[in-house]
Amino acid sequence: MHILISGGQMERVEGIFKALADSTRLRILNLLLREDACVCELGSALGLPQPLVSRHLACLRNAGLVLDHREGMRVRYSLILKGELGGALESLLRKAFSCGLIYQEDIHKWDHQRGYAWEPLQPREKRPDAST
């Protein structure tokens, strides 16, 4: 598979790889592949302080990997992996996360906090309500 990238797009790709060059940001992306979340949810699942999670989310947002949107008093973050390049990146991330113990442990804790039964990392989709 060949993807031709223009000069402006190459700068974006460089920014993406810089954002991916941090283990905490990768752990955040792992959870956001699962579902949208706010800073407090991510911080709780990862055992990290909210200001640290916020700084990493800002980096991911600046790289064009996440989008923030307000829901009441909270700001929720979601992944924005679009187009051929986004699809390739999502596939790479899913493969890498499925091989890493820390990422699977994060997912296990994430699902446990939400009352979900633990399952291996699956494609991103709406999760069933834990009460049903």
pLDDT digits (tens, 9 = 90+) for 85-132: 888 999 999 999 999 999 999 998 998 888 876 555 555 554 444 444
Tell me whether residue 94 is exposed, middle or buried, using C-beta atoms within 10 angstroms of its C-beta: 0 to 12, 13 to 18, 19 or more.
middle
Domains observed in the chain: 8-113 (1.10.10.10)
pTM for this one? 0.80
pLDDT digits (tens, 9 = 90+) for 44-80: 999 999 999 999 999 999 999 999 999 999 999 999 9
